[in-house]
Amino acid sequence: MRNNTSDAIIIGGGIIGTATGYYLTKKGLKVRLLEKNYLTAGSTGRCIGGIRQQFSTESSIKVAMESMKKFATMNDELDQDVEFHQGGYLFLAHSEEKKETYRKLIEIQQKMGLAVEYIGTGEIEKLVPGINTEDMLGGAYCPSDAQANPFLIVDGYAKEIRKRCDVLPHKEVTEIKVDKGRVTSVITKDNGTFHAPIVVNAAGPFAKEIAQMVNLDLPIYPERHEAMITEQLERFFDMMIVDYRPDGCYFNQKWDKGSIIGCYTPIPNVPGQDLGTSFEFAKEMGRRMARLIPRLNNIKIIRQWSGSYEMTPDGNPILDKSDVGGFWVVGGMCGHGFMLGPEIGWLAAEYITEGKPPYNIDEFALNRDFKGKEVMK
Ligand SMILES: Cc1cc2nc3c(=O)[nH]c(=O)nc-3n(C[C@H](O)[C@H](O)[C@H](O)COP(=O)(O)OP(=O)(O)OC[C@H]3O[C@@H](n4cnc5c(N)ncnc54)[C@H](O)[C@@H]3O)c2cc1C
């Protein structure tokens, strides 16, 4: 694009910003995406690439299932291999309470057409050779859940956007101008001015700071999550294993090289933007994985890092326009932004261009009461 005016400006070069930009471009809009660092510098480049459809509310399940369809056709859509592989997700139950929760949720999920079932420990032992089933009662298993490579997907979306529009890394937005209640332009740290009647806040863990630029207070708070990857090893299981005990963890084996990639949710949570790492995590993650699969006892962790979950009070995303004309919020993905990203990007583009969402997403409204809770966090 030659001049500094476009139909829409997107702030943030993660999965949400690039997916939204991709679909807005497909709808014929001139889009300019501004990223303060490099693409994937935020949470997207720090995630572990899991994609699941097992959620607890109809809206989340629907969005996740639609997103899965988009992942499944992405190699063709983006004309590059995004390392998509449907190896499943297995949520383990180590208590009667968990088992009951899964069973109830499976009913809702099955009603929505998702092929998911509760399986016993015998079946689990066949799926994960050598797994320790002590105290385990079974698990919720959805074989069509998946994994993919976030870097390749963001790269693919960005390449498509660049065919007609702009993707500008190292452009930090520092100010958003509003005139008569409508956004008009954004200013970047290097004194650039870019005009557009639509500004999409897709700044992930920084969504709150961006919203403050138009005097909007967003209930989105970053929480630090640490992650690690191991040396390569021969593949022996196919799915993301989620151990939901308070001192559990979740991990899968990467489709390409067999490395194990995983995380756990810290208790208590770690609020704030600090992206440091801890020896405690490396030690604990090793212990937790080896407790579940003893043969992982001597495996080497080759890298650890951290990133942010962008939390909302009820665990659901925000996808909505705001009271400031032309200012949209697509954020607060609560640690599910990669898996939901393709559908969220499509929904955002449809809502922005058509004036209403293509199906009911009231659960993602900006002015909801935030009293509900997504159980499958
Ligand atoms: C350890 C870990 C594991 C995870 N695993 C999974 C998983 O398996 N599956 C899953 O679905 N999700 C997972 N997630 C969550 C997922 O990574 C996020 O929900 C998702 O990446 C959010 O995408 P986003 O585009 O909203 O944010 P981001 O990827 O953070 O993108 C926002 C971008 O905005 C940019 N930005 C910020 N401020 C400005 C500014 N002023 N001007 C310009 N640009 C700005 C940032 O630099 C950043 O690149 C994980 C997260 C972590 C931390």
Q: Which candidate, 364, 331, 365, places its Cα nearest to that of 11?
A: 331
Q: 338 CB less than 6 Å from ligand 1? A: yes
Per the listing, tokens 């015998």 go with 122
- Domain, as residue range, for 355: 8-48+151-220+314-364
On whether both 140 and 226 belong to a single domain, the answer is yes
Residue after which a domain boundary falls, among 309, 326, 356:
309
pLDDT at 371: 85
On whether both 178 and 288 belong to a single domain, the answer is no
Q: Which of 241, 330, 338, 340 to mutate to test the pocket of ligand 1 (most atoms within 8 A of CB)?
A: 338
Question: Is 67 within a domain?
Answer: no
Atom of ligand 1 at shortest distance to CA of 171?
Answer: 43
DSSP type of residue 22: H
Distance, CA of 23 to CA of 341 (rounded, Å):
11
On whether both 329 and 276 belong to a single domain, the answer is no
On whether both 304 and 171 belong to a single domain, the answer is no
On whether both 226 and 300 belong to a single domain, the answer is yes
Question: Is 71 within a domain?
Answer: no
Q: 204 CB less than 6 Å from ligand 1? A: yes
Q: 139 CB less than 6 Å from ligand 1? A: no
Minimum CA distance residue for ligand 1 atom 24: 204
Q: 270 CB less than 6 Å from ligand 1? A: no
On whether both 334 and 320 belong to a single domain, the answer is yes
Q: 208 CB less than 6 Å from ligand 1? A: no
Indicate if the alpha-carbon torsion angle 92, 97, 99, 102 is positive or negative.
negative
* Amino acid sitting at position 121: T
On whether both 213 and 318 belong to a single domain, the answer is yes
Q: Which CATH number covers residue 174?
A: 3.50.50.60
CA 103 to ligand 1 centroid distance, Å: 31
On whether both 331 and 352 belong to a single domain, the answer is yes
Question: Is 242 within a domain?
Answer: yes
Token pair recorded at residue 89: 């997700």
Residues 318, 374 contacting (CB under 8 angstroms): no
Question: Is 54 within a domain?
Answer: no
Question: Is 103 within a domain?
Answer: yes
On whether both 278 and 300 belong to a single domain, the answer is yes
Q: Which of 43, 255, 306 to mutate to test the pocket of ligand 1 (most atoms within 8 A of CB)?
A: 43
pLDDT tens-digit profile, the chain (377 residues): 658 999 999 999 999 999 999 999 999 999 999 999 999 999 999 999 999 999 999 999 999 999 999 999 999 999 999 999 999 999 999 999 999 999 999 999 999 999 999 999 999 999 999 999 999 999 999 999 999 999 999 999 999 999 999 999 999 999 999 999 999 999 999 999 999 999 999 999 999 999 999 999 999 999 999 999 999 999 999 999 999 999 999 999 998 889 999 999 999 999 999 999 999 999 999 999 999 999 999 999 999 999 999 999 999 999 999 999 999 999 999 999 999 999 999 999 999 999 999 999 999 999 999 987 776 66
Residue after which a domain boundary falls, among 309, 334, 352:
309
Atom of ligand 1 at shortest distance to CA of 172?
Answer: 42
Q: 202 CB less than 6 Å from ligand 1? A: yes
Atom of ligand 1 at shortest distance to CA of 339?
Answer: 11
On whether both 37 and 128 belong to a single domain, the answer is no
- Inter-CA distances, 226 with 92, 121, 267, 276, 294, Å: 21, 29, 12, 8, 22
Q: 315 CB less than 6 Å from ligand 1? A: no
Residues 287, 248 contacting (CB under 8 angstroms): no
Q: Which CATH number covers residue 239?
A: 3.30.9.10
Instruction: Indicate the number of domains in the chain.
Output: 2
Question: Is 59 within a domain?
Answer: no
Q: 41 CB less than 6 Å from ligand 1? A: yes
Indicate if the alpha-carbon torsion angle 303, 154, 44, 86 is positive or negative.
negative
Q: Which candidate, 47, 39, 32, 21, places its Cα nearest to that of 195?
A: 32
pLDDT at 282: 97
Residue after which a domain boundary falls, among 265, 292, 309:
309
Q: 333 CB less than 6 Å from ligand 1? A: yes
CA 54 to ligand 1 centroid distance, Å: 21
On whether both 238 and 305 belong to a single domain, the answer is yes
Question: Is 273 within a domain?
Answer: yes
On whether both 132 and 234 belong to a single domain, the answer is yes
Question: Is 139 within a domain?
Answer: yes
